[in-house]
């Protein structure tokens, strides 16, 4: 049986990236993206809108680069996998949060693609002249650790 866990969204960052470092020295970035859905109500003909907020987590070099290119209000494409974390809050209540663990981030405001994926992104804006997407992807591919498991205790937020 095949399994698939992929999320792809295009929306606007709702806050600046919060970049932290785990106790073992690995960078992790967190931010949120809002996506909107509009439709016309069949009964009233009124246009309605719904907003969804998605928590994004980017590890390592991808998180560091996201910190440079993603800013509050900027349009962004995110591709990754869904992950749900559970923990007990300070008040003793059980908490749960579903996040998108980013593999690919593309700033749609002209800053270019940011990717952990071995293949180049299909949607992109011009890159600054001093960078090449292939070189960036190859560099990140070399830096990516063999063990891709995430220790939930390492997440600082």
Residue 153 pLDDT > 70: no
pTM for the predicted model, two decimal places: 0.67
Q: Taking residues 84-108, what's their average pLDDT?
A: 93
pLDDT at 59 over 80: yes
pLDDT at 124 (0 to 100): 41
Considering only CA atoms, which of 113, 109, 122 is closest in space to residue 11? 109
DSSP string, 22-58: -TTS-EEEEEEEEEEEEEE-TTT--EEEEEEEEEEEE
> Is the pLDDT score of 114 beyond 60?
no
Written out in words, the top-level CATH class of the domain with range 7-154 is mainly beta
Mean per-residue pLDDT for 9-15?
Answer: 96
Q: What is the mean pLDDT of residues 12-31?
A: 95
| Residue 45 Ramachandran class (φ > 0 left, ψ -120 to 50 alpha, else beta) | left
Residue 4 has a CB neighbour count (10 Å cut-off) of 5
> In this predicted model, which residue has the larger pLDDT, 90 or 128?
90
pLDDT number for residue 57? 97
Cβ pair 46, 1 in contact under 8 A = no
pLDDT at 79 over 50: yes
Residue ranges per structural domain of the chain: 7-154
């Amino acid at each position: 049986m095949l399994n698939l866990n992929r999320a792809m969204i295009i929306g606007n960052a709702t806050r600046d990236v919060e970049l932290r470092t785990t106790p073992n020295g690995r960078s992790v970035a967190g931010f949120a993206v809002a996506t909107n859905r509009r439709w016309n109500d069949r009964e009233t003909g009124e246009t309605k809108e719904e907003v969804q907020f998605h928590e994004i987590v980017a590890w390592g070099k991808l998180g560091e680069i996201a910190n440079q290119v993603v800013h509050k209000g900027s349009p962004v494409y995110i591709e990754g996998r869904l992950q749900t974390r559970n923990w007990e809050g300070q008040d003793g209540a059980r908490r749960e949060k579903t996040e998108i663990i980013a593999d690919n981030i593309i700033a749609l405001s002209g800053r270019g693609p940011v990717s952990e994926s071995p293949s180049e992104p299909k949607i992109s804006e011009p890159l600054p002249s001093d960078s090449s997407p292939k070189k960036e992807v190859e560099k990140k591919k070399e830096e990516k650790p063999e063990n891709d498991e995430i220790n939930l205790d390492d997440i600082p937020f």
